[in-house]
């Protein structure tokens, strides 16, 4: 019987169905991580950028000067809407980040560029999924030259600016209970 290059409709449907299932299943997605969400959270002490993804991300980072930039190359991701929206996530009052953008320098790499207002010390790390979030790539930016007390900045941030300094009156000790306690427990002097 002569060989034919003809593919039966039943076989064509089976192959197409298998390809569709592979592309839409977790098995197919494992080969290509999907960006689920991008979040930024600036504060007086640092700025945090979180990229949430369906699978762990492979990344490389590079800190550049003149102008100050942090470049993060992420392998194997598509430029989807959450990732493309990163520029709109940067607030004008962010103390460290001026702007952000993404591009595709190679077919398999998404490049995230953070244009910085000042020199920073970046800490980039991955977090595994937990009950509330999937895989995360976290970018913490800390100013290289911190001008303020970090504890004070946290207190101000926690109180949303409603923080005032109150000096104790000069006639009273700063901590009357501590002063009494230290007097009460002072060792007796030998007579």
Q: What is the pLDDT of residues 115-129, one digit of tens each?
A: 999 999 999 999 999
Q: What is the pLDDT of residues 7-48, one digit of tens each?
A: 777 776 766 666 666 655 544 444 578 888 999 988 878 899
**Of 46, 35, 44, 61, which Cα lies nearest the Cα of 124?**
61
pLDDT above 90 for 62: yes
In a domain, 149, yes or no: yes
Length of the chain in residues, anyone? 191
Could you tell me which residues come within 8 angstroms of residue 107 by beta carbon, excluding any fewer than 6 positions away?
A: none
In a domain, 40, yes or no: yes
Q: Report long-range pairs for 126-134 (Cβ below 8 Å, ≥24 apart).
A: 126/56, 126/57, 128/56, 133/52, 134/36, 134/52, 134/53, 134/54
Please tell me whether the peptide bond between 67 and the residue prior to it is cis, using omega within 30 degrees of 0.
Answer: yes
Range of the structural domain that residue 64 is part of: 33-158
pLDDT at 61: 94
pLDDT at 169: 59
In a domain, 169, yes or no: no
What residues pair up with 111 in beta bridges, in sequence order? Answer: 73, 103
In a domain, 171, yes or no: no
Give the C-alpha distances (Å, rounded to integers) separating 28 from 12, 23, 53, 129, 137.
Answer: 20, 5, 15, 19, 21
The Cα 49–Cα 46 span in angstroms is 10
In a domain, 53, yes or no: yes
Q: What is the pLDDT of residues 71-111, one digit of tens each?
A: 999 998 888 888 888 888 888 888 899 999 999 999 889 99
In a domain, 61, yes or no: yes
What secondary structure letter does DSSP report for 109? E
CB-based contact 165:149 (threshold 8 Å): no
**Of 111, 35, 29, 43, which Cα lies nearest the Cα of 74?**
111
Number of structural domains found in the chain:
1
Q: What is the pLDDT of residues 42-51, one digit of tens each?
A: 887 889 999 9
């Amino acid at each position: 019987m002569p060989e034919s290059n003809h593919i039966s409709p039943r076989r064509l449907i089976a192959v197409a169905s298998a390809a569709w299932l592979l592309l839409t299943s977790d098995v197919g997605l494992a080969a290509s991580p999907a960006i689920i969400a991008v979040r930024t959270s600036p504060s007086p002490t640092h700025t945090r950028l979180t990229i949430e993804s369906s699978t762990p991300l492979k990344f490389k980072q590079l800190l550049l000067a003149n102008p100050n930039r942090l470049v993060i190359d992420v392998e194997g991701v598509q430029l989807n809407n959450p990732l493309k929206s990163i520029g709109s996530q940067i607030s004008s009052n962010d103390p460290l980040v001026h702007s952000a953008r993404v591009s595709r320098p190679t077919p398999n790499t998404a490049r995230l560029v953070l244009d910085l207002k000042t020199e920073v010390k970046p800490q980039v790390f991955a977090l595994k999924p937990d009950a509330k979030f999937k895989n995360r790539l976290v970018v913490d930016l800390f100013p290289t030259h911190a001008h303020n007390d970090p504890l004070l900045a946290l207190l101000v941030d926690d109180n949303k600016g409603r923080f005032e300094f109150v000096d104790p009156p000069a006639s009273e000790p700063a901590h009357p209970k501590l002063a009494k306690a230290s007097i009460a427990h002072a060792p007796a002097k030998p007579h």
